[in-house]
Structure 1
Amino acid sequence: MINLFQPQVGAEELNAIADVFEDRWLGHGPRTKAFEAAFAAHLGVDAEHVVFLNSGTAGLFLALESLYLERGDEVVLPSLSFVAAANAILTTGATPVFCDVDARTLNPTAEDVERALTDRTRAVVVLHYGGYPGEVARIAELCRERGITLVEDAACSVASRVDGRAVGTFGDLAMWSFDAMKVLITGDGGMIYAKDAERAARVRRLAYHGLVQPSGFGYAKVSARWWELDVPEPGRRVIGNDMTAAIGAVQLRRLPELVGRRREIVALYDRELADAEGLLLPPSPPEGHESTYYFYWVQMDPRIRDAVAGDLLAADIYTTFRYAPLHKVPAYAHGAPEPGLPGSDWAADRTLCLPLHPGLSDADVLTVVAALRKSVAERTAEVTA
C-alpha cells in the first residue's frame, strides 16, 4: 500500500529514547525544556512563550480557553478545517462562524475572513492549508485593525514561512501538531505559542492543572514547602514528556531533510502531471512563501472524484480529502452562513489529496501518477459518453 502519510523515524530517534530510559526520567523534565527551547529558536521567539503539549488539539483548546470567551461571542474559522478547531470553540460557549476559502488554494483570503466578521467576533482561527501559508500577513493586519485575536492553526506548517518569518508568529497564539501523520512527529504531541508574555505564562499554568508552581521533585530546592499548592484557576494535564520530546528534538534537527524530500516529491508530481487532462494542480506558493508541503492535492470533475479515489484504493494507493467542510456537519450547522460557501463547496466536491511523505520513492510517485492518469481518463470517458 502506498500510504498518504508515513512517519519517518529510525535509529536516531530510537537512540534518543534509549537515553531517556537510561536517565530514568520519562515525564516532563529537562528534555522537554530543551525541545521547547530548540523549537522557539526555530520560530525566532523566546522559549518562555512556547509550551510542549501532548497534542496539537490540546493547543487549540488551550488557545481558545485563554481568551475568556463567553456565550454570544463569535470565532471565525474556515469551513475547510479540522474538527478540533470547531470543538475547541464550542467548549468555550462561543459560536463558530465559518468563512469561505479560495477554491484553488483552499486557504481563506483576507476578504473571506472580513466578510464573516461581526460586532460579536472575538477571534479568528486560520488554518494554513497543506502547509501553504496563505494570506496570513494580511489576515493578521486585518485582525489587529479590528482588535480581534488571531489564532494560527499551524498544525501542518512546522516549516512554513513568509518573507523569512515563521508561520505561527503572525498572530497572537498558534499551535503545531506532531502526531504520527505530521511532518515533524513525536508519536503524539504538539506545541503552543503565545505572543503576549502574561498569556504565555497563563497557558503554561493551564497546561499543568493551573499550578503556579508544580509541587514535584524539580522544585524541592527552590521552595521550602514544595508540596503546597497555588492554583489561581483550574487547568488540566496536557503537557508533553521527555520521551516524546526526545523524539521531537531529533525530528527538528532532521526537519530540513524531511521537508526537502517533500519538496522534491511535489516537484515530481508537478512535472509528471503538468499535461494531465482533467486535472488541476495546486497553485505554486507566491514569492516569499515557503511551504511545509504537507498536502499535495489535485482537483477534477466532481462527477468522477469519488470513483477515482476508489480506483486508486483498489490499486493499493490511499488518497483522501482533507478537510471535509465543517459547515455541512450537523453539530456545527448553526455556524453555516447563508447562502453558503461557494469556494469551500467547490473545492470539497473536486479535491483529492495524493500520497506525500519522505518515505516515497520516485518509483512510488510515478506509480501514483500512472494510476491517477488512467483512472481520470477512464472515468471522464464514462461520464462524457
Structure 2
Amino acid sequence: MDTIPVMKPWLDDAEAKAAAEAVSSGWIAQGPRVAEFESAFAAHIGASQGVALSSCTTALQLALHLLGIGPGDEVVVPSFSFIATANCVVHVGGTPVFADVEPQDGNVSVRTVEPTLTGRTRAVVVVDQGGVPADVEPLRRLCESRGIHLVEDAACAAGSQYRGAPVGASGLLAAWSFHPRKLLTTGEGGMLTTSDEQVADRARRLREHGMNISAATRHQNRQPVIESYLEVGFNFRMTDIQAAVGLVQLAKLEEMVQRRRSLAAGYQAMLADVPGLRTVQDPAWGESNFQSFWVELDHDFPLTRNEMLTVLAADGVSARAGIMAAHRQPAYRGHGHGDLSTTERLTDNTLILPLFHAMTEAEQAVVVGVIHRAAGLRAA
C-alpha cells in the first residue's frame, strides 16, 4: 500500500535544470544567483531588502545579534514552536521567556505576551505558526510603547497574507525558512528581510565572516583586493545552486498557495461535522498559506491524538503530532515559565494532516474517510 505523505515538495525538471545551470556556470558558492534571489524574494513579500542565509535558524540568530541581544537580556518567544525559535535566543547569550498562545490560531498575542514582559525584556519573537498569520500590529504597538524590538519568525508563512499585504512586509526584521517542509524550498536555506538598508548591509557582512567586501565581488574584480574583517562574523551563506532552485520555486509560490488553500477548504468542509474535531481556520486579519493543516481533537472525539495517529498510519496515511511545546523538551528542563496551559493542550491534542501541492482529491478522501470511521461516522 502506498503511503500518503504528510508533505511533498513541488519539484520538477525546472528546478533540476536551474541547479544544473548553476553548476555548469562554475559559480556554485554565494554569487549572482543569490543576489537575484534576495531581490526577487524581498520584492515578492514587499520588503525593501533580503539577505539570503543558510537557514531560518541562522536568520533568527542573526536578527537577534543585529539587535544587540546578549547576556542578561530576555527575549519572549512562544513555547508552541519548533525549538529553534528558543534556541536562537540562547545562541546569542540571551534568555528565552516562554509565552502562551491563543487557542484559535496557536499564535502569541498581546494578551499572552504582556504578562511575560519585564525590565529585562529586549525583544519579542512572534511566529506565524503553520503559516497562519499572527496579529502583528497590536504586538508591534505594545513593543514600541515599551522600547522592545519585535522580530517575526515567518518560517512557515511565505505566501500568507496579513491585513491585505504579504506577511512580513512591514517589519524591521523577519526570518524565513526554505526547508523542504515549507512551500518554497531550496533544500536547506533561509532569508532575513528588513526595511532598513543599513541593517541589511551589516547582515550581509556578518553572514560572510564580517568581511568588508563579499567573496563574489572580490573574485570578480580584475585587480587584487585585500579584504578586511570589520567585526566578528559568521558563515551563514547560501549557495548559488540553492538560489537557482529558489528562483524557480518563487515563480510557483502563488500557484502553490492557491492549491493548498483549495485543499484546506476541502478538509474544512468534509470534517466540519465530525464531533470533537476542530480544523485550523483563517484568522479575521489574514489568510494562511496552510503550510500545515492541523486539527484538534477534544474529549468528544472517541480516540486520543496518539491513537488517531496510529489508526491513520495503519491505513497508509502519514500524519504528524502537532507543534511541540519547547518548554517540555529536555534541553529546557528546569527553565522557568508561567502558565502555558493552551500550549500544552494544543501540543497534546493536535495532529497535522497530509497537505501538498500534488495531493489528489482521491488521496484527500482517503484521509477524511479514515477520520470519519474513527469518529464512528459513515463514509461520505
Provide, for residues 276-307 of structure 1, a one-character-per-residue CA deviation record: whole Å limited to 9, x for no partner: 12211223331x51211111111113661111
> By how many angstroms is 1:81 displaced?
1.1
**Matching residue of 2:251:** 253
Task: Supply the distance in 2 between the matched residues of 1:194 and 1:78 (Cα, whole angstroms).
Answer: 22
The letter of the residue matching 1:22 is S
Task: Supply the distance in 1 between the matched residues of 2:259 and 2:220 (Cα, whole angstroms).
Answer: 47
Contact 1:76 1:124 in 2 (8 A): yes
**Matching residue of 1:89:** 89
> By how many angstroms is 1:199 displaced?
2.0
> By how many angstroms is 1:220 displaced?
5.3
The answer to whether structure 1 residue 200 and structure 2 residue 200 are counterparts is yes
The answer to whether structure 1 residue 235 and structure 2 residue 237 are counterparts is no
Quickly say closer, same or farther: Cα 1:298–1:345, change in 2 above 3 A. same
**Matching residue of 2:104:** 104
The letter of the residue matching 1:101 is V
1:178-327 pair list within 5 angstroms: 178-214=178-214, 216=215, 218-219=217-218, 224-226=223-225, 228-286=226-284, 288-301=285-298, 304-327=304-327
Contact 2:126 2:150 in 1 (8 A): yes
The answer to whether structure 1 residue 22 and structure 2 residue 24 are counterparts is yes
Q: Secondary structure at the match of 2:51?
A: strand
> By how many angstroms is 1:170 displaced?
3.6
Q: Secondary structure at the match of 1:312?
A: helix
**Matching residue of 1:346:** 345
RMSD: 1.8
Q: TM-score, normalised by structure 2?
A: 0.93
Q: Secondary structure at the match of 1:182?
A: coil
Shifted more, 294-303 versus 259-268: the winner is 294-303
Provide, for residues 40-84 of structure 1, a one-character-per-residue CA deviation record: whole Å limited to 9, x for no partner: 1102222xx211112111111111222222222100011101111
Q: Which runs of 5+ in 1 are unaligned?
A: 379-385
Contact 2:99 2:340 in 1 (8 A): yes
The letter of the residue matching 1:149 is H
Q: TM-score, normalised by structure 1?
A: 0.92
Shifted more, 326-335 versus 344-353: the winner is 326-335
Runs of 4+ deviating beyond 4 Å:
220-224
> By how many angstroms is 1:37 displaced?
0.9
Task: Supply the distance in 2 between the matched residues of 1:314 and 1:39 (Cα, whole angstroms).
Answer: 40
Q: Secondary structure at the match of 1:377?
A: coil
Shifted more, 18-27 versus 184-193: the winner is 18-27
> By how many angstroms is 1:264 displaced?
0.8
The letter of the residue matching 1:145 is S
Quickly say closer, same or farther: Cα 1:143–1:24, change in 2 above 3 A. same
The letter of the residue matching 1:315 is D
Quickly say closer, same or farther: Cα 1:92–1:217, change in 2 above 3 A. closer
The letter of the residue matching 2:289 is T
**Matching residue of 1:382:** none
The letter of the residue matching 1:135 is D
Task: Supply the distance in 2 between the matched residues of 1:23 and 1:70 (Cα, whole angstroms).
Answer: 41
* Percent identity for Structure 1 against Structure 2: 38
> By how many angstroms is 1:115 displaced?
1.4
Task: Supply the distance in 1 between the matched residues of 2:355 and 2:272 (Cα, whole angstroms).
Answer: 17
> By how many angstroms is 1:138 displaced?
1.3
